[in-house]
Amino acid sequence: MPFFYPNRINDFWRIMGIAVYGDRQHLIDPATETFRLDDIRRMLKDLHIAMWDTAAKVRRLRENASDKHLDIVEAVDLQSLLVRMPDCTEIATTGQKAAEVIATLTSSAVPQMGHFVETDFAGRKIRHWRMPSTSRAYPMSITSKAAYYSDMLHTIGLI
């Protein structure tokens, strides 16, 4: 899938299916066990959710997807992204590494999981949310992870 979280082993789209629709399979085609990209894009558009990586350039220190073996060579240009989204006041990061990158860019603290910190950045107030990793390697059940995402989406008024 030419989009974010294409790996079927990562539970991001299952978590979003639970959080938004109450169904972990909602964004998955049962016949092929692939993600329904059109449904995903429609959901994101309907909820006004934009997605982007926190790193522009990375170096993998080992041949796996673990954040602890990921060197951020260049962070995203967050200010340029936000210029294109003048109504954006909430940023949610998935996992510790992404939360640390955004905290550094915004000169703010790293939020506790499931919580946010408020900061002034790029001429506006931003709430930065830290969400649990959606990797199956992260030791938390998918329903517990989905509860964090659902709570955040409810709090900010998207669902």
User: Could you report the per-residue pLDDT of 58-69, keeping only the tens digit for each?
Assistant: 888 887 766 777
| C-alpha–C-alpha distance, residues 106 and 19, integer Å | 27
Cβ contacts of 63 within 8 Å, gap of 6 or more: none
Give the pTM.
Answer: 0.92
User: Could you report the per-residue pLDDT of 27-57, keeping only the tens digit for each?
Assistant: 999 999 899 999 999 999 999 999 999 999 9
Domain count, the chain: 1
| C-alpha–C-alpha distance, residues 72 and 96, integer Å | 13
| C-alpha–C-alpha distance, residues 101 and 149, integer Å | 20
Residue 115, helix vs strand vs coil: coil
Taking residues 80-108, report their average pLDDT.
Answer: 96
Question: How many helices (H) and strands (E) would you count in the chain?
Answer: 5, 7
Residue 39's pLDDT is what? Answer: 98
Is 7 part of a structural domain of the chain? no
With bands split at pLDDT 50, 70 and 90, how would you rate the model's confidence at 1?
low
Total Cβ atoms within 10 A of residue 124: 12
pLDDT at 92 over 70: yes
Stretch (H or E) spanning 53:
none
Residue 14's pLDDT is what? Answer: 98
Is 4 part of a structural domain of the chain? no
pLDDT at 124 over 80: yes
Residue 71's pLDDT is what? Answer: 85
Is 26 part of a structural domain of the chain? yes
CATH number, domain containing residue 102: 3.40.470
Site of tokens 């260049």: 74
* Residue 91: domain span: 12-155
First to last CA, the chain: 26
Taking residues 72-101, report their average pLDDT.
Answer: 95
**Average per-residue pLDDT in the chain?**
94
